[in-house]
Structure 1
Amino acid sequence: MPEWLLVIIRSVSILIGLFFILKLLGKKQLSELSFFETIVGITIGDIAGTLSMDLAVSLPQGLTAIAIWALAPFILDVFSVNNKKFRDFVQGKSAVFIKNGKIMEDNLKKEKITSDELLEMLRNKNVFRVADVEFATYEPTGDLSVLLKKENRPITLGDLNPNQPSEREAQTVIMDGKILNESLGTMGLGRGWLKNELDKLGVTIENVYLGQVDSYGQLTVDLYDDKIQVPEPVETKLLFASMKKCVADFELFSLQTENSSAKSMYEKNATKMEHLIEKVGKYLH
């Protein structure tokens, strides 16, 4: 058999073998690999390259070596799951680099990280002052986790409104033109409601590739034919406009009446409606 054909056969065989090895080890980003896993990956790649090109190397022996190197991190992971001490020994532990805005110099020395490298990692997190950091931890993967002091954190919706209602996960109720009854039931909805909503949009279930209902009961759809323009739902906008009209009507009635008690009632209802609009208005437009 020609050598070039042997190289092709060996390369394809090794490529298929590496594919199944990676499937076995699971999905990990390069930044999440431990030091040992990185060494294993480099070694396996070197063995695979040698097996592909060097015909003097025994293919069965090379594949055995690859299998042993590949199984090593898998076996270590199995032991690490149930034993924290072993996991810390193999994968390493996180180290505190900054605490209450103060740098932990001893921990930097243990991890062999210079102050310049620490500042670079902070800049990668868009942090330019050590004093702004409440807590910073150096993870075993080499990444830096940073918690800013409360006064330096971005304002969230929870800061502005502590009683903010939580949002539920959007449920997929139509997939590939078929209704998912379980998801509909999770939202407390039925097929009749779904049909009415689709009629409002002017589409049929068979034309819908994906349909989802958000936590506010709003249906959005993606059609097979992307050229078809689906009108935006207007129910919430109409509700918001109706609420604003109620405020205007209450204020108008209070100006038109001569009865003091009626005038007071209209003004109070207008104020209540305005407060309600402030709470729910952002969800309606």
Structure 2
Amino acid sequence: MKVVVEIIIQTLLAFFGIWFIARLLGRKQIAQLTVYEYINGITFGSIAATLATDLNQRTWHHLIGLFLFGILTWCMSYLSIKSKELETIFQGEPIIVIQQGKILEENLKRCLYSINDLQEQLRIGNVFDIKDVKYAIVESNGNLSIMRYEDQEPVTLKDIGLMPDSREPFTAVILNGKLIHKNLKIMHIDEKWLKKQLNLKGISDFKDVMYAAVNKNKQIYIDVFKDNLSDNEKTPF
């Protein structure tokens, strides 16, 4: 029993130790993986290798650690879905590194991105002049999302109609049926305005909304839990 307790304690320490180091090293280390996938990729391989080669310890000892890591990772994923605050703690949040063509150096440091890293990611996104960028955001998985100025975007069918489209990024105001009050204040809107917009879409309760986001132009995107798609509208995979 003492050995089992020691394995559980060591596994817990190893799990949260790797999680802390992954967050500390910065988002470039995670690349396109989530934090949980990154942890699993490191740890499961290591435990599996030890399980296959270590003859000094019983096999089931390693299995306890392996399954405990899987349970912990699943729990963190589940809690992140249920709570926006926990998701931010566990995985981080998007950080703006370019705004109105200007680099935000302090935010760049928070991501552990250098100027060379930023320029590389911009080039991958087919952007070669920072002044063409309205917003650039480092996502929680390390990828760079880019929004160009309207006159720098590739021509589309809509553009042929000479209809200028002044766009702004969207900010989440409802997630999993819960209001994000901090973001409501940031976007300068209140519950009454948001309730009215939902009513216009035939939605009577915030709890029915899986995700809703608003931009500075007061454009709103709403996705409810029950999408009510017909069979013809569903996309096969």
* TM class, shorter-length: 0.5 to 0.7
Task: Report the equivalent of 1:130.
Answer: 130
Unaligned runs of 5+ in 2: 1-29, 164-229
Unaligned runs of 5+ in 1: 1-29, 164-181, 188-285
What SS class does the counterpart of residue 56 from structure 2 fall into? Answer: coil
2:38 partner letter: T
After superposition, where does 1:127-276 map in structure 2 within 5 Å? 127-161=127-161
Please state how far the C-alpha of 1:148 moved relative to its aligned partner: 0.7
1:78 partner letter: Y
Checking the alignment, whether the CA contact within 8 Å between 2:36 and 2:77 is kept in structure 1 is no
CA distance in 2, matches of 1:76, 1:34: 12
The answer on 1:41 being equivalent to 2:66 is no
Deviation string for 1:103-155 (max 9, x for gaps)? 11110122221111111111111111000001100001010000111111011
Please state how far the C-alpha of 1:161 moved relative to its aligned partner: 4.3
Which structure: greater helix fraction?
1
Deviation string for 1:136-188 (max 9, x for gaps)? 0000101000011111101111222489xxxxxxxxxxxxxxxxxx97xx59x
Task: Report the equivalent of 1:110.
Answer: 110
Please state how far the C-alpha of 1:36 moved relative to its aligned partner: 4.8
Please state how far the C-alpha of 1:59 moved relative to its aligned partner: 1.2
Task: Report the equivalent of 1:59.
Answer: 59
CA distance in 2, matches of 1:106, 1:162: 38
Aligned length: 138
CA distance in 1, matches of 2:33, 2:71: 15
Please state how far the C-alpha of 1:88 moved relative to its aligned partner: 0.2
Note closer, same or farther for the CA distance 1:93–1:42 as it changes in structure 2 (3 Å cut). Answer: same
Q: TM-score, normalised by structure 1?
A: 0.45
CA distance in 2, matches of 1:65, 1:108: 37
Please state how far the C-alpha of 1:86 moved relative to its aligned partner: 0.8
Give RMSD over aligned pairs.
2.3
CA distance in 1, matches of 2:81, 2:32: 16
Deviation string for 1:29-63 (max 9, x for gaps)? x8442335413321111110111122333111111
What SS class does the counterpart of residue 109 from structure 2 fall into? Answer: helix
Name which one, 1 or 2, has greater alpha-carbon Rg: 1
1:144 partner letter: L
CA distance in 2, matches of 1:59, 1:31: 33
Task: Report the equivalent of 2:167.
Answer: none
2:140 partner letter: P
**Identity within the alignment, %:** 32
CA distance in 2, matches of 1:96, 1:129: 17
1:94 partner letter: P
1:143 partner letter: N
Task: Report the equivalent of 2:89.
Answer: 89
Checking the alignment, whether the CA contact within 8 Å between 2:136 and 2:147 is kept in structure 1 is yes
CA distance in 2, matches of 1:74, 1:162: 49
Higher relative contact order (CA 8 A, sep 6+): 2
Runs of 4+ in 1 over 6 A off after TM superposition: none
CA distance in 2, matches of 1:96, 1:109: 11
CA distance in 1, matches of 2:162, 2:48: 57
Q: TM-score, normalised by structure 2?
A: 0.54
CA distance in 1, matches of 2:149, 2:116: 22
